[in-house]
Amino acid sequence: MAWVFAFAFAGPSYAAGAFAVGKCGAYGQAIDYPAEGPALAAARKQCKGDCKTVTMKRACAAFAVDMINPCGAHGYAVKPQISNSLNEATKKCYDFGGKECVIRAWACDARG
């Protein structure tokens, strides 16, 4: 009689993502990091200048800038679905005075 055993080994648990946004279209992103701190640091390191960082956990972040003046109005959002984050980031860019707002970057952290 033959016995077959199957074992599922769980890999490392990845629980954090981060997105950084700054002036003139600067941004950084980090997804599927083991903890919030390293994710924030990685996103901040990629973003040049004075950048604001936000975390993502099983969410998507999007960053929109005004193409007429990339150093002017911008908007960002973190939402559970990519379509909602894209729409909200674009809306915020227009709310802050943007004339031709477009998505500059986006990222999703799916493993959370």
Residue by residue, pLDDT tens for the chain (112 residues) are: 443 333 333 445 556 899 999 999 999 999 989 899 999 999 999 999 899 999 988 899 999 999 999 999 999 999 999 999 999 999 999 999 999 999 999 999 875 4
The Cα 26–Cα 5 span in angstroms is: 51
Would you state the torsion angle of the CA atoms of residues 80, 53, 91, 79, taken in this order, to the nearest 10 degrees?
0
* pLDDT number for residue 10: 41
* pLDDT number for residue 14: 56
> Residues 96, 102, 61, CA angle at the centre, nearest 5°?
80
Residue 2: which residues within 8 A CB-CB, separation 6 or more?
A: none
* pLDDT number for residue 8: 36
* pLDDT number for residue 58: 86
Pairing between β-strand 27-33 and β-strand 16-21 as defined by DSSP bridges: antiparallel
Positive or negative, the Cα torsion across 110, 65, 48, 51? negative
Task: Report the SS3 class of residue 80.
Answer: coil
* pTM for the predicted model, two decimal places: 0.81
